Amino acid sequence: MLKELKKICNPTVFEDIFKTYAGDLKQFLFFKTQDLDLAEDILQETFVKLWENCEKVSYTKVKGYLFTVANNKFINWTKHKKVVRNYEKSAVSKNDQESPEFILLGKEFLQKIEQAIQDLPETQREVFLLSRMEKKKYAEIGEQLGISVKAVEKRMHLALKTLRNTIGNV
The answer for 51, left when phi > 0, alpha when psi is -120 to 50, beta otherwise, is alpha
Q: Tell me what pLDDT residue 1 has.
A: 38
Residues 50, 43 contacting (CB under 8 angstroms): no
Residue 79 has pLDDT above 80, yes or no: yes
Buried b (16+ CB within 10 A) or exposed e, 121-145: eebbbbbbebbeeeebebeebbeee
Chain centroid to Cα 69, Å, comes to 20
pLDDT digits (tens, 9 = 90+) for 66-76: 999 999 999 99
Q: Is 101 exposed, middle or buried (0-12, 13-18, 19+ CB in 10 A)?
A: exposed
Mention the CATH class of domain 7-95: mainly alpha
CATH number of 100-167: 1.10.10.10
DSSP 55: T
Sign of CA dihedral 27, 33, 36, 38: negative
Q: Show contacts of 14-22: CB within 8 Å, 24+ apart.
A: 14/50, 14/51, 14/54, 17/50, 17/62, 17/66, 18/47, 21/62, 21/63, 21/66, 22/47
The structural domains of the chain, with segments of one domain joined by +, span 7-95, 100-167
CA distance 47 to 49: 5
Residue 2 has pLDDT above 90, yes or no: no
pLDDT digits (tens, 9 = 90+) for 104-134: 888 888 888 888 888 899 999 999 989 988 8
CA distance 153 to 162: 14
pLDDT digits (tens, 9 = 90+) for 140-169: 999 999 999 999 999 999 999 998 888 875
What DSSP line would sit under 90-134, residue for residue?
A: HHHHHHHH--HHHHHHHHHHHHHHHHHHHHS-HHHHHHHHHHHTS
